[in-house]
Structure 1
Amino acid sequence: MIVNCTLGMTGEYKVEKLRGSTVTFESDWFPNIITDNGLDLWATSSAKFAEGFVGTGNATPQKSDISLANYLAADTSNYGATKSIDTNEYCMYLQKAFEFNEGVATGNISELGVGPANNNFFSRALVRDADGSPTTISVLADEKLRFYYRLRINQPLNDFVAQVDGYSTTLRAANADVAASWSDGMDGQPLFGSQQSPLSSATMATDGVIADVNNPPTGNRFYVTSATTDSYVPGSHVLSGTLLWDTSEGNGTLSAFQFVIYGMGTWQFSISPAITKGFTQRLSIGVRIRWAREGEL
């Protein structure tokens, strides 16, 4: 049995110029391209937002980009990083800032990017004005440049309903208003819950029912014996894994489940008819999550 869910993501940039600690220019937020390489980095790298890059090129960003058109400078200082959940819009944010000291990014800046390294980009964008048109920002030798990258992932409010191996399954988000269940792992490498000790006890089966998106399933809890992550296939943008309840765990009537994917949320699903597991039996359930640029799923 394999249950499936999906996530959509988008990103944007904002640029500032500073003299000393005084901001002398601030742009509006403007959109990015999350690259195909970036979608792979989501599954394979814990350093996908490690560096910020600026350049002077003006080539239109493409999904296939891995670098700037005309590289100028990089910053690895991670001036600031925040992770949060918007409980009104049901989305999670990761925001990082990169600051270039005087003389480092001098010139006419027209493009930005983030990633683990040059030629290994997660995202790229052209600098844009208030009307959304490409523009340049002139940075003098006595000015600093700071830019922010903000990634947004929408938390699904819809149910994922399917027939799987003769069972009716309904999968939905869980604990959607809890940062530890969703946004805290956004800058890490996604793994299934039991491989991250702070979240290991959140992967479980119950004899109850699934709840609304802000709560876990009801009922008595039977914690997972193991949760293993399969090897990622480049270009698939899919993470899969297996939840296992060994002979000594989860014995009884099981009708609802919860699992954690570190950095990709906490999820719950129901199974009908319920599964009755005995002391001589093992229960294995496959879980698969797919991600894409918002609007492409």
Structure 2
Amino acid sequence: MKLSGQMAGRFRLVAFKKDAKGEIVPSSQRVAADWFNNLILDQGLEFLGHNTSHALRHMMGYCHIGSGNSTPSSGQSNLDSRLAVSDDDVDTDTGAVNGDTPYVWRRVVIEFAPGAGTGNISEVGMGWGSDTSDLFSRALILDTDGNPTSITKLSDEYLQVTYELRLYPPTTDAADTITLDGITYDVTMRAADVGSYGGSYTGWSLELGSTSSGNNSSSYRGYDGNIGDYTGAPGGSYDSSSTPTIEDYVDNSYTQYKTIKFDLDEGNFSNGIRSVLLQQGWGRWQLEFSAQGTGDAINKTSSKTLSLTIGHTWGRASI
């Protein structure tokens, strides 16, 4: 069973000067480049699998600017010609957008001081470190028509780069089957609690780790009721599982598996376990089980344990 979420990012660049008190001179402020999309690199996706303790926000710690102009390619690891790097985070914000295409977002504003990156800038990237190869994403600076361009940063100017990373939960169901104790169950897999920016172990959030988030028993529950809408959760009574086990990440799979276990004294409902709610990756999910032919729930009793291995896979979204 696999659960899938996608991500996308974009940039905005603003240049300005400051007075002797450190205040922005309003007449000097200009939008050097308005919002334009980036390419999340293969190594960025891969880094998330190998660094389970890193939340997605850690991919936004360093901004790299340069003067190169090659078309961004997913296999790249650095800018063409880096001019400067900064981790001077002057502002952050988070939020959620509802509607037909819901997503959660986090924005960070990284500032470059006068003298840093002076000259013509045509490429930009975000990453987890200051080394040239520590890039999560890369983009060419684009004009309002979507064409590659360059901006000029004067020696006495500040440059603020805003990076927005979005997570897109699926709004449609996925389906799978699983066989337990000789019985084949149809599984409906659906996002849960979509529509708000969650904190620790709740909802959807860039604050959570790519693979280890929700790694406590309260994040994994069995229910005797059906799953809810993708903005909600299963109904009925619930019982928490034991602490899940994280499987070893397989290189270049962009998928992390966890095994959750209901011990002998957990999840023993009179009508069985109909649904499971879990925090996996950056989101919350709900699974509903229905035995083929009978529609029965999972027959979990005090004489049986139940183990479910569930994968979280991540990739790029187009915006």
> TM above 0.5, one fold?
yes
Supply the AA of the counterpart residue of 1:235. N
1:187 to 1:266, Cα distance in 2 relative to 1, 3 A: closer
What is the rounded CA distance, in whole Å, between the counterparts of 2:209 and 2:273 in structure 1? 31
Asked whether the equivalents of residues 51 and 114 of structure 1 are also in contact (C-alpha less than 8 Å), the reply is yes
1:148 aligns with 2:162: yes
In 2, Cα distance between equivalents of 1:8 and 1:194: 21
SS at match of 2:135: coil
Instruction: Go from structure 1 to structure 2 and tell me whether the alpha carbon gap of 1:218 and 1:187 turns closer, same or farther (over 3 Å shift).
Output: closer
Residue aligning to 1:177? 195
1:140 Cα deviation after fit? 0.6
Inter-partner Cα distance in structure 2 for 1:125 and 1:187: 25
Asked if 1:120 is matched to 2:134, the reply is: yes
Q: State the Cα deviation string for residues 156-175 of structure 1 (Å, max 9, x = none).
A: 11001122221111010111
Number of equivalenced pairs = 288
**Cα deviations across residues 204-225 of structure 1 (Å, max 9, x unaligned)?**
0011100001111001101011
Point out the structure with max Rg over C-alpha. 2
Q: Structure 1: any 5+ residue segments left out of the alignment?
A: none
How far apart, in 2, do the equivalents of 1:93 and 1:26 lie?
A: 23
For 2:300 and 2:261, locate their aligned partners in 1 and report how far apart those are by CA, in whole Å: 12
Output the amino acid matched with 2:309: G
What is residue 146 of structure 2 aligned with on the other side?
Answer: 132
- Partner in structure 2 of residue 62 of structure 1: 73
Matches within 5 A, 1:189-200: 189-195=210-216, 200=217
Shift of 1:125: 0.5
* 1-structure distance, mates of 2:260, 2:242: 8
Worse-superposed segment, 223-232 or 108-117: 223-232
| SS class of match (2:45) | helix
CA distance in 1: counterparts of 2:92 and 2:258, whole angstroms? 29
Q: Which moved more, 1:19-28 or 1:179-188?
A: 179-188
Matches of 2:174 and 2:302, distance apart in 1: 31
Distance in 2 (CA, whole Å) between partners of 1:139 and 1:185 is 31
Letter in 2 for 1:73: A
Partner of 1:84: 95
- The TM-score normalised by the length of structure 2 is 0.86
Q: Which runs of 4+ in 1 moved over 4 A?
A: none
- How big is the shift at 1:184? 3.1
Q: Is the 8 A contact 1:206 1:222 kept in 2?
A: yes
Contact 1:84–1:183, Cα closer than 8 Å, also in 2: no
Q: Does 1:216 align with 2:227?
A: no
Cα gap change, 1:187 to 1:254, in 2 (>3 Å): closer
Tell me how far apart the structure 2 counterparts of residues 189 and 44 of structure 1 sit (CA, whole Å).
Answer: 9
Instruction: For 2:196 and 2:171, locate their aligned partners in 1 and report how far apart those are by CA, in whole Å.
Output: 15
Residue deviations 1:139-180 (CA, integer Å, cap 9, x gap): 111100111111122111100112222111101011112322
In structure 2, relative to structure 1, the CA distance for the partners of 1:221 and 1:176 (3 Å cut) is same
Between 1:45-54 and 1:120-129, the stretch displaced more is 45-54
